């Protein structure tokens, strides 16, 4: 026989049977399914078999949970970077690992791209990028500015791309196909450059955009380091 509502309620985990780690893992599982509701207490309660209000025994609010989950994904990004690389390849590896993790947990990346977790893995990534720009030859204010340029640029792109993954598939497909449809029909008189490059615009891939962006960041660091050396 099906359990009565009272029996079902008794069978749910209480807040004391949960832990912050269990809740974080549940959020990551939901996020990895491409779901946009990984941080609603209702969805978490369903995933954990717990009363949704039990979440608040371990987290002050949803934002505290969000930042802790985001910091966990930053740790995964660093885990994807091999040891023993020079500064350029370290930045490349971090960038591509960031994109991979963002697409694995799109709701996390899109929601937290503009946030600061203030936790250990974020500190590790800041130290990682600062180490790369210092190795490139930058110091002081230059190192700080170029660190921010790298970190913010990568976050902006992966957050944007992750947000796209949460759009309904048919809507996303219509947006992406516009380069080969509407843009190719652009009036050459009003939009001569678009008309001239219609084929090329349609062939640009997300991967190529990201690769060029990362290489541009590295080139900017190299150019500034050269200026510093030349005095």
Parse the chain into domains and list their residue ranges. 1-59, 82-230
Beta bridge partners of 50: 13
| Angular region, 118: left φ>0, alpha ψ -120 to 50, beta rest | left
* CATH match of 82-230 with 3.40.50.300: no
CA distance 19 to 66: 15
Beta bridge partners of 13: 50
Q: What CA–CA distances, in Å, run from 143 to 136, 148, 188, 214, 227?
A: 9, 9, 45, 17, 13
Q: What CA–CA distances, in Å, run from 6 to 9, 29, 43, 156?
A: 5, 28, 20, 47
Q: Tell me if 209 sits within 8 A of 160, measured CB to CB.
A: no
Low-confidence ranges of the chain (pLDDT < 70): 1-16
Model pLDDT, residue 9: 43
Residue 13 main-chain phi, psi, to 5 deg: -65, 140
Model pLDDT, residue 6: 35
User: Number of C-alpha atoms within 13 angstroms, CB side, residue 79?
Assistant: 9
Model pLDDT, residue 145: 98
Q: Tell me if 144 sits within 8 A of 127, measured CB to CB.
A: no
pTM above 0.85, yes or no: yes
Q: Which residue has 């993954």 as its token pair? A: 165
Q: Give the list of residues 6+ apart from residue 86 with CB closer than 8 angstroms, or none.
A: 135
Model pLDDT, residue 126: 98
CA distance 81 to 124: 12
């Amino acid at each position: 026989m099906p359990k009565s509502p009272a029996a079902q309620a008794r069978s749910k985990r209480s807040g004391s049977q949960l832990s912050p780690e269990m809740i974080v893992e549940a959020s990551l599982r939901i996020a990895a399914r491409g779901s946009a509701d990984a941080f609603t207490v209702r969805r978490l309660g369903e995933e954990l078999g717990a009363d949704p209000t039990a979440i608040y025994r371990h987290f002050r609010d949803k934002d505290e949970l969000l930042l802790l989950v985001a910091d966990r994904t930053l740790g995964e990004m660093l885990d994807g970077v091999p040891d023993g690389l020079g500064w350029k390849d370290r930045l490349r590896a971090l960038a591509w690992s960031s994109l991979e993790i963002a697409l694995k947990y799109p709701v996390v990346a899109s929601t937290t791209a503009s946030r600061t977790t203030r936790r250990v893995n974020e500190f590790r990534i800041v130290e990682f990028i600062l180490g790369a720009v210092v190795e490139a030859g930058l110091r002081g204010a230059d190192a700080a500015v170029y660190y921010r340029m790298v970190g913010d640029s990568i976050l902006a792109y992966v957050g944007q791309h992750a947000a796209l993954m949460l759009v309904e598939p048919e809507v996303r497909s219509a947006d992406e196909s516009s380069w080969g449809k509407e843009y190719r029909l652009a009036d050459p008189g009003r939009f001569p450059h678009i008309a001239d490059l219609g084929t090329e615009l349609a062939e640009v891939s997300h991967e190529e955009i990201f690769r060029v962006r990362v290489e541009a960041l590295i080139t900017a660091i190299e150019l500034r380091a050269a200026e510093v050396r030349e005095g």
